Amino acid sequence: MKTDVAIIGGGPAGLLLSQLLMKAGISTVVLERQSRDYVLSRIRAGVLESGTVQLLQEAGVGARMQAEGIPHHGCLLSSDDQIIRIDFVESCGKQVMVYGQTEVTRDLYTAQDALGARILHGVADVVLHDVQSDAPFVSFTHEGQHQRLECQFIAGCDGFHGVSRPSIPAEVRREFEKVYPFGWLGILSQTPPAHEELIYANHQRGFALASMRNRNLSRYYIQVPLTDKVEDWSDAAFWDELCARLPAEVAKTLVRGASIEKSIAPLRSFVCEPMQWGRLFLCGDAAHIVPPTGAKGLNLAASDVFYLSRALKAQLLQGDGAALAQYGAEALARVWQAMRFSWSMTTMLHQFPDQSAFDLRIQRVGLETLAASAEARKLLAESYCGLPY
Ligand code: RFL
Ligand code: PHB
């Protein structure tokens, strides 16, 4: 098999890259380890930056998002019963779109099918070869057959546990990591959202987030110790703990229901440098992970794809390799901004096991600054809605 760009991983990064390249007349093959149903059953991100929304529109996958997504003009931060509203439109003239990653992925599959995309599911034993040469290739097993995919470039879009990042030699790679001493227990429930905007709650019992997917589908999270298991948490215990952490007036009217999904995600900040090695280019979670507090994971995958698709088009359509040579540096500059933002939101809003009285005062003054200063709210809004590409 032969293609211009071999894409490892059929999550949002891989599918969006394939879509943008194919629309420009560049051929791709996507190799995905899981089945399509499995990829579509993963409940993950929910907030799209305005740049992500624009990119999805440019990719021709914006119609359902425009019809069914919910534009949000602000969000709330609460600390005990004090509530601070961040007005995105007033602060920075932007907004975000609440539309689930599952739906984005479904729309990408539909659009890729319409373009006749080559997406192979259930592939195993993926190995990258001759990445430093002009003729790289990927070997893999599909439906019991050992196969070879020859290509000009390889995009590593295979998430944090994929094979692409480890294909960069260990002596070249530099990894930066911070693991947080807690996780998020999340549930999805077929109930109306607690509030029309997202609420990020700092509480002495721990952080909580009230989010949503649509007018009758709510997504809630609570901070839990890493030792907790999903089985430890009945639905009733989850609702009680969530209500204890949200502002009282919101908790009073919160509608409880059966959980459709319940899972625990650990929180981590991680960056791999460089993001390119020879003809291999990393995109999305394959190169970096953020704690979800800033809603940046999926959006960073989209901005990587923006830079990489533009650079590959310049190279493959005009023979201009300047942007491709700069891909890693350009993407990493934005990645580190999002790292800092996600870390600062996480440290401001969570309870840490070894937190001192000093740390608590620093947290409190962070929230007080947001309450008092329009400039501080503007900075938060700019990062939350997404820095320009
Ligand atoms: P993905 O979505 O992980 O997709 C990578 C794809 O690569 C496949 N793969 C392989 N394919 C072939 N060969 C191999 N050897 C392979 N190894 C892996 C995988 O099956 C998968 O389909 O990465 P991508 O495309 O970079 O997209 C990134 C986003 O998915 C991610 O940043 C966000 O979902 C992060 N994230 C969240 N972000 C938010 O902004 N808000 C959230 O609420 C939020 N919740 C989450 C999350 C990530 C989670 N993970 C990764 C555990 C909750 C969870 C549980
Ligand atoms: C979500 O709806 O899953 C969500 C929203 C905002 C975040 C994290 C997760 O910061």
pLDDT digits (tens, 9 = 90+) for 317-339: 999 999 999 999 999 999 999 99
Q: Is 180 a catalytic residue?
A: no
12 in contact with ligand 1, CB cutoff 6 A: yes
Q: Does the pLDDT of residue 28 top 80, yes or no? A: yes
Average pLDDT over residues 57-61: 97
Q: Residue 202 falls within a domain, yes or no?
A: yes
- Tell me which ligand sits closest to the C-alpha of residue 267: 1
Based on the fold, state whether residues 250 and 366 are members of the same structural domain: yes
- Distance between Cα 384 and ligand 2 center (Å): 12
pLDDT value at residue 360: 93
Q: Residue 78 falls within a domain, yes or no?
A: no
219 in contact with ligand 2, CB cutoff 6 A: yes
Catalytic residue among 99, 203, 292, 327: 292
Based on the fold, state whether residues 196 and 165 are members of the same structural domain: no
Based on the fold, state whether residues 298 and 335 are members of the same structural domain: yes
Measured CA to CA, the distance from residue 298 to residue 35 in angstroms comes to: 20
Q: Residue 361 falls within a domain, yes or no?
A: yes
Q: Residue 130 falls within a domain, yes or no?
A: yes
Catalytic residue among 99, 109, 200, 307: 200
pLDDT value at residue 182: 98
Based on the fold, state whether residues 318 and 365 are members of the same structural domain: no
Q: Is 73 a catalytic residue?
A: no
- Distance between Cα 285 and ligand 1 center (Å): 6
Q: Residue 85 falls within a domain, yes or no?
A: no
Based on the fold, state whether residues 263 and 292 are members of the same structural domain: no
Local confidence band at 11 (pLDDT 50, 70, 90 cut-offs): very high
Measured CA to CA, the distance from residue 175 to residue 251 in angstroms comes to: 41
Average pLDDT over residues 3-25: 98
pLDDT value at residue 285: 98
- Tell me which ligand sits closest to the C-alpha of residue 46: 2
Based on the fold, state whether residues 29 and 116 are members of the same structural domain: yes
Ligand 2 atom 5: the closest Cα is on which residue? 46
Q: Is 292 a catalytic residue?
A: yes
Q: Does the pLDDT of residue 386 top 80, yes or no? A: yes
- Here the CATH number for the domain that contains residue 21 is 3.50.50.60
Q: Does the pLDDT of residue 43 top 90, yes or no? A: no
Based on the fold, state whether residues 212 and 63 are members of the same structural domain: no
pLDDT value at residue 42: 87
Q: Does the pLDDT of residue 81 top 90, yes or no? A: no
Based on the fold, state whether residues 211 and 250 are members of the same structural domain: yes
pLDDT value at residue 242: 98
Based on the fold, state whether residues 66 and 13 are members of the same structural domain: yes
Based on the fold, state whether residues 11 and 106 are members of the same structural domain: yes
Measured CA to CA, the distance from residue 282 to residue 327 in angstroms comes to: 10
pLDDT digits (tens, 9 = 90+) for 202-249: 999 999 999 999 999 999 999 999 999 999 999 999 999 999 999 999
Pairing of strands 28-32, 145-150: unpaired
Q: Residue 110 falls within a domain, yes or no?
A: yes
- Distance between Cα 45 and ligand 2 center (Å): 6
- Distance between Cα 219 and ligand 1 center (Å): 18
Based on the fold, state whether residues 236 and 126 are members of the same structural domain: no
- Here the CATH number for the domain that contains residue 199 is 3.30.9.10
Determine the structural domain holding residue 109 and report its residue range.
5-72+98-176+268-345
Q: Residue 82 falls within a domain, yes or no?
A: no
pLDDT value at residue 181: 97
Q: Residue 28 falls within a domain, yes or no?
A: yes
pLDDT digits (tens, 9 = 90+) for 247-262: 999 999 999 999 999 9
Ligand 2 atom 10: the closest Cα is on which residue? 295
Number of domains in the chain: 2
Average pLDDT over residues 13-42: 97
- Tell me which ligand sits closest to the C-alpha of residue 97: 2
Based on the fold, state whether residues 21 and 142 are members of the same structural domain: yes
